[in-house]
Amino acid sequence: MSESPEVATRYVHKYGGTSVGSVERIHAVADRVARSLEAGQQVVVVLSAMAGETDRLEGLAREVAEEIAPRERDVLLSSGEQVSIALLAMALIKRGFAARSYLGWQVRILTDDAHTRARIEHIDTDALNDDLANGVTPIIAGFQGIDTRGNMTTFGRGGSDTTAVAVAAAIGADECRIYTDVDGVHTADPRIVENASMLHVVTFEEMLELASLGSKVLHPRAVEFAGKYGVPLRVLSSFGDGDGTLITTEENDMEQPVVSGIAYSRDEAKLTLLGVPDVPGIASKILGPIADANIEVDMIVQNVGADGSTDFTFTVKREDFVRALELLEAVKADLDARSVEGDNHIVKVSVVGVGMRSHAGVATRMFDALAAENINIRMISTSEIKISVVVDERYLELAVRAIHAAFDLSDPPVKD
C-alpha cells in the first residue's frame, strides 16, 4: 500500500450541460477538478455546451431554414462547447492552476465527414501528453472534431460522452469519469420505482442495454467505445460526492447478480402485417422500404404460420409510426397480404443482466410477475443478457415495479 505512487493516476473528467449550466456550476466544476489535481492526479476535462445552449442554437437554425445544411449546422452547434471550455479554463487559471482549452480541431480529433453524426477515427495525443507532463490541465470541447479536409464535424447528441471515452482510450487514462446530474445507474428509474437501488458495478454489455433502453445516463456509443477499448467508465454526480457506478468488463470473481436492472422505453409503436405468404425473403421485402426511409426498427417477431401464411410484427420509434404505416400499406398491396395493424400506445420493458446467461427461469419469473398483475404481454424478444416485452402503455409503471420486486432489486445487488 504505497501512499505516494510514482506514476500519477490519470483521469478523464466529463461534465455535461447541466454540470456547466451556469457560472456558479462552472466554479463548482473547477473546484472539483482542483481537488483532483491537489490529490496528485492528472486530469483531462471534456465539456458539453452549457445547458440550453445547443437548443438555442438549433432554434436559430430552424428560424433561418427548414432544411439545414449539415456542414453549417456543425459549425453552428460546435460553438457551444467553445464557450464552456474557455470559461472553465479561466476558472482554473484563477485558482492558480495551469489550464488550456482545446477545440476538437486543436486536439486534433479526426473524424469521418458524416456531418452531424461523425465518427472518431483518430486522436492526436502529443499536445495532451505534453500538457499533462508539464502540469497543465487540458480542457477539451466535447461533441466535435474535424475531418481530413478541415471541416468541423459533430457527433450528435450525447457525443461529449464519446469524446471523453475516446480521449481516455487514446491517453491511456485509468478511468473515465462521467459527471452528470444523477448519482449513478439504478436498478430501475427511481421516478417509477421508489426503492430502486444504485448499482455499484455493471458490465459494459449491461450498461449498453440499460442505456439504449432508456436509462438516459450514458450515450450508448460511448459505452460501446469504452467496452471495445477496455476503458473503465464511472458515472457519478457532479453535485454530490458518491462513488457512482463503475462500468467495467465482466470479471470471473465478480459477485454477479442474475439481473442488474429493469429498463423501459416509452416512445414505441408496433406494426403488424397479417397474412403474408410464408416464403423466404419476405422479411427483407417488408423491412426494405422501412430501412430506405431511415426508420429504425427495434424488435422483430415472426411466428410460424399456418396454411402457408404468417404474421409479421415489428416496432419503431413512435415518431416514425405514421410514416411506417403508410409504407406498410404499399407493401401489403405488393405482397397481397391480408391486412395491416398498428398500435402506437405500447411501451417496452426489459430485464437486463449478464447473470441471466447462466440462469434458467429468468423469463418465467418475469412473465409470472406480469401475469400476477394481469398485464397482457403483446410481444417478446430476447437476447443473451436481456428479455424485453411489449405491453400497453398504461401498464408501464405497474410492470416495472412488479418485475423490480420479483427480482428483489431493492437491495443493492453487489455489496462492497
Positions in the binding site for a second copy (CB under 8 A): 23, 26-27, 57, 60-61, 63-69, 71-73, 75-76, 78-80, 82-83, 85-87, 89-91, 93-94, 100-101, 103, 105-106, 150, 152
Task: Write down the least CB distance from residue 367 to a second copy, Å.
Answer: 52
Task: Write down the least CB distance from residue 125 to a second copy, Å.
Answer: 15
Nearer to a second copy, 59 or 288 (CB): 59
Nearer to a second copy, 27 or 378 (CB): 27
C-alpha cell, 167: 480521449
- Who contacts 347 (Cβ-Cβ below 8 Å, separation ≥6)? 264, 265, 266, 268, 390, 391, 392, 393, 395, 396
Instruction: Tell me the three state secondary structure of residue 173.
Output: coil
Task: Write down the least CB distance from residue 137 to a second copy, Å.
Answer: 12
Task: Write down the least CB distance from residue 76 to a second copy, Å.
Answer: 4
Q: How far is CA 16 from the centre of its chain?
A: 13
Nearer to a second copy, 150 or 281 (CB): 150
Q: Is 223 in contact with 207 (CB distance < 8 Å)? A: yes
Task: Write down the least CB distance from residue 21 to a second copy, Å.
Answer: 12
CA distance 189 to 376: 22
Spatial strand order in the sheet of 109-111: 120-123, 109-111, 144-146, 152-154
Task: Write down the least CB distance from residue 245 to a second copy, Å.
Answer: 31
CA distance 259 to 354: 7
- Cα distance between the two ends of the chain: 19
Q: Is 108 in contact with 154 (CB distance < 8 Å)? A: no
Nearer to a second copy, 57 or 414 (CB): 57
Nearer to a second copy, 14 or 73 (CB): 73
Task: Write down the least CB distance from residue 59 to a second copy, Å.
Answer: 9
Nearer to a second copy, 69 or 371 (CB): 69
CA distance 392 to 232: 37
CA distance 266 to 70: 29
CA distance 275 to 287: 16
Nearer to a second copy, 100 or 401 (CB): 100
